[in-house]
Amino acid sequence: MTDDLPEMRASDADRERVAEVLREAVAEGRLNMEEFQERLDSVYAARTQGELAPLVRDLPQATTAATPAEPARAGRGWAERFGGSATSRGAVAVMGGFVRKGPWTAPRRFTCFAFWGGGEIDLREAYFEDREVEIRCFAIMGGVNVIVPDEAEVDVRGIGVMGGFDHSAAGRGEPGAPRVAVSGFAFWGGVGVERRRAERRERKRLEGGHGHGHDRRRDDRDD
């Protein structure tokens, strides 16, 4: 993000990088929750770079918040997707939402909170700070959906009170794939966990075998 072109349209990635700076600031005590929510609302309403810049001008901006992750490339092995600095370590949705998807770098522990809001954490194209990662979800009258790679080992150990955690995706994975633990607490809310193929692989499968029904894995069906 730059002040040189204030009228340039902001992308979803630009808004998300600014939102991450705000999340780090509230975690460090630089912003209170009221200031955080006001600025976060302004982030997602912003249309240009010039509207985003003042929202973080008085805050330190980590390199990882301004540097996009390396795009995933077809044919990369799992070993090459482990290591590096996390793009984001948490997310907050208060009467709003958040999304983490694409080629981001997931930390060893990612903590998210949804209150009257919702979020999506998609790990299919992600890099991983370590082979084992924990996604901690706290949903209070809200919901979080966690999408894990089809090959991953998944351990779901969250607790629901008048809410629930989806354990259907739990199970062993392929050798060398990441291990994803989903934990936390849901109260009048829910945390969904599902396995899906990477979008790129799924498109290739549909284009190459459309109509033949060769792959009948339950996890690939949208219903």
pLDDT given for residue 26 in this prediction: 74
H or E stretch covering 128: strand 127-128
Please indicate, yes or no, whether the overall pTM of this predicted structure exceeds 0.75: no
pLDDT given for residue 215 in this prediction: 41
Mean pLDDT of 102-108: 90
Taking the C-alpha atoms of residue 4 and residue 126, their distance in angstroms, rounded to an integer, is 31
3-state secondary structure (DSSP) of residue 174: coil
pLDDT given for residue 199 in this prediction: 61
- Residues 6 or more apart in contact with residue 45 via CB below 8 angstroms: 51
Distances (CA, A) of 34 to 11, 38, 40, 134, 136: 25, 6, 10, 28, 23
Q: Across all residues in the chain, what is the average pLDDT? A: 79
Cβ 100 vs Cβ 120: under 8 Å = yes
Share of the chain above pLDDT 90, in %: 31
Of 164, 90, 87, the closest CA to residue 129 belongs to: 87
Place of tokens 């998944």: 154
- Helices 49-56 and 12-27 cross at an angle (nearest 10°) of 10
148 pLDDT more than 90: yes
N-to-C CA span, the chain: 40
User: How far, rounded to the nearest angstrom, does the alpha carbon of residue 216 sit from its chain's CA centroid?
Assistant: 28
Of 109, 164, 111, the closest CA to residue 142 belongs to: 164
Instruction: Kindly report, residue by residue over 9-20, the tens digit of the pLDDT.
Output: 888 778 878 887
Instruction: Kindly report, residue by residue over 177-186, the tens digit of the pLDDT.
Output: 999 999 999 9
Distances (CA, A) of 209 to 40, 184, 201, 212, 216: 44, 39, 12, 6, 12
147 pLDDT more than 50: yes
Mean pLDDT of 138-165: 90
